Structure 1
Amino acid sequence: MYKVIIVDDEKLLRQGFIHMTDWSVNGFEIVGDASNGIEALELVERYQPDIVVTDIRMPGMDGIELTRILKQRYKDIQVIVLSSYNDFEYVKETLQLGALDYILKPTMQYTDLVNAMEKAKSNKQHQELAKDTQSEQRKKSLLGFFRSLLCEPNQSDEAILDQISAFSLPLQPGLMRLIWIQLELPETDSASEASQEGELTNTIVNELQAMLQQHQNGCCFAVSPLQLIVIMNTSEDTYRDQIAPVLASYDVQYWLCVSEPFSEFSDIPAVHQRQLALSPYRFYINSGSVINEAELTELKTSLDLPFKNFNDYIDKQDFLGLYKQVQHIITDSIQNRHYIDPYAIRNGFIEVCYYIIHRLDEMGLEIDELHKRKITFFKLIENTGNVADCLQVLEHILSEIETSLKDSRNGNYNPTVKSIIHFIQQHYSEDISLQSIALHFHLNKSYLSQLFKLQTGETLNNYLINLRIDEAKALLRKSNSNIYTVCQAIGYSNPSYFGQVFKKVVGMKPSEYSKLYNK
């Protein structure tokens, strides 16, 4: 609805205007009426209208002065002037001040008013569209500036500072830190994954930027759907107190890679390149942790495994012994601060699986089932997010190889999945997730996710979301329910995030769904 205020010293005319028609049918709402410009300004301040219809001749403050003030203070308000035949010079003045149109009171018809109001509405819509376009253009320009900060090393600090000033960014010369943030969402179906990533990233960027704006000490932007950059004026570790609470309020895992303090804007590209090189090594730390360059004393590009020593283990089908030997190599390297490239570890573990299957083939064993599953094994390893997961996945794969060789599989529905489904149905109202369920059942979360989807046809997270939303719908159909209570009852602590999930699944907001059943 477009809000309208009527200003005229004749009360009868104001009432006639208000009751002339059902203005809401045409998209208008009369929010107030005033007898002069002074009263009108009070109403404008209170209601922030889109359109003001005003007489020219009024006591106290006339329509000319009112138009002048409105166009100085509220440029977007559309002004329509009511005049008599002998007011034409005054009409010209109001038009020069920015009034949109005028109507002659002696000959005023209903259609004249409607046409003028429609013209004002159309002009308002064009203004809003222009603002949206300008806002979108500003976003693109700002993102271009941020990317140039990261990637163009030859810019002068003076030129960068001019851009910072032009965009009104709360970032000052002096000591700064560059903070690289990697997000990881709960596993979801691929059809909605990109959309979910983009929406959540935008929400987090906006909240971080609002926080930085409040503290007047930095800016935040996304360089990809799950990677954010924060540049902050700080030489201390206060960044953690400001950023971590924002990230912790969302259902995401996150890692921070924080630079040492630097003082020149032109240093940013080099700092960013160092962080890019270090970012894969989040493989060695838990979610919510900081990647510390000083701790990564030696980076190794390859994983050296003694494949010939594995033959005895394979021949004896002692896959637990083989796993312990691989585990010792990895843990020993970490204890000595010799951090192996995560890609090399994953690739090395895939080679271990391939080598075992190849060796079993040479031994003449029937391993058709293993050949069918080896691609799944490889993908499970490739999808691991950290070294602990990678080791646990390898352990499970070797256990499955041993089970397959003993021919102990009976083809029944996996009892583990049955137990997991029962657990979810009993605990969906609690703060559970793929990670917590995996911990409860002592399983690697990537392995659990893959197993659950193979058995049920959907991801564990989608199963949990759908179960929660079904329960939310049932609660919302009750007249005494409210959004916050429902949110808490189904295991969501953030009402805003619950609203986003509900709308994505159901197609409408929780409040809209509730109104369907509680009119």
Structure 2
Amino acid sequence: MSELISVMIVDDEKMILEDLSTMIDWEAAGYQIIATAFNGKQALRKYRELHPQVIFTDIRMPFMDGIEMISEIRKTDEKVSIILLTAYEDFSYAKAAISLGITEYIIKSEITANSLSDLLLRLKNNIIKAGRRERYITDRMLEQFFLSEEMTENTDIEAILNRPEYIIMAEQDLPVSLSGENIPEEIIIHRSKFVEILTDEKADGWELEVITAIPGRKMVIALNPDEKNYSDRENKLLKTAHEFQSRLQKRTGFEFTLYIVRGKISLYEFKRFYDENKRIFLKKYLEGTGKIHILDCSQVQELEKERNTANTRNGISMEEVLKETDSQTRTRKLKEILDIAGNDGAEQFISAAQSGYIALKHAYRKVYNGKEKEFPQITTCWKNWLDAEKIILWLQEQMEVYHEYISREVKGYSRIVADAEEYIYRSFRNPDLSLNDVAAYVHLSPGYLSSEFKKETGVTLKSYLTDVRIDAAKKMMDEGKYKIYEICSAVGYNSSQYFSQAFYKKTGMFPTEYSRQGGRKNEN
């Protein structure tokens, strides 16, 4: 007896569930009802646990309606057949659901035993047809074997795991992860699309035995020649890899890196090689994406040595590079860090590049007053993070943009001096405020900021801070509501004596004298 097609029925009306479940002999039609649910939230949980092949679902339900449930399912599963159960008044919802990929919709009041049987027959034929493609994909056990950290063989798939094959591994060229930001979903090619593209046309001279996913969004394709006397197989496998790569890139618009294993190897042996040599698959970020590489799995590749992060290579951090005001010096230091990191390995290069991205992101937050949207996010710059050459150029350009911005004039002052003044006005009440704090805010070295501030304003930054504090103290005295010790603390002084000395130095009188004489009214 052939395997029954699994079904889940979802409706908040108990009578509808019972009617559908008993209207026909489901097993005779080739189906088996494995679950029912009363709302979309409950159904989503059961779907993730049981993975039915067909779902009958109502639209309007409590907690989560049918449209939202379908949307969640379609994020990960493009194959499951979904039949919408709708009433006449919900027809507009049914039309909206078509864009989500429903298989069909039916009016509840028009369901009969005959119409349901006809529908199930059509569905079954379509599922069988799709099954011709599914023969290239083993069941979930094989995929779980590759996703597992363990090397234990599964007796149910032992024959497949130990059978020598010719292997090609395909990997979509996705950007380096940027400080925890998710890769945009719209640029990711999922497994079902891989399989559809690779099986639409026969691989000339080869029989596809297995296509399965492994960690890191990679696909393993196992092939065998369709002729026993097939000669020069390595070159012909390379030709097939080029065909696969061209087909994938043409159909998706994205680039793919492929790896060919030299000679025959079992899937079990390939997993061992992959688990022990994951770092070599990062090398594409240094060598360039969209290429085809030959892997020799007969011996374990030499693992790249782990070294300290390149963020502080040769005592230079990315934050210090960003503070460098001379463009040529800044570019030289940036390339020096990333070149040395690249020589240490792909992981070290990626770590250093991520440090550059984070330093820029923090700097942008400050100069744009916290408006993070001004900084390029991965959704807009992912094409620049596919290999080392593009990454270095992008970081260099963004640093130039940043320095161009902070050098613009604001009310007669450069951006950095204007930002330093603005920060002092916001922070002068902090008694611990220092030159280093202001310099860190504008992302420059203290020495350079001091020099530029004095050059543009005519006063030192320390003197300017004192002016701001004393001016604030005068305003509080003019109000006549505060005691001297309260004013002292409010404008950033821990010591009343030091406040009095600073006040006298700036105004020629002590605070008590200034207050007693009527403040600003008698100042002149």
State the TM-score, normalizing by the size of structure 1.
0.41
Could you say which structure has the higher helix fraction?
A: 1
State the TM-score, normalizing by the size of structure 2.
0.40
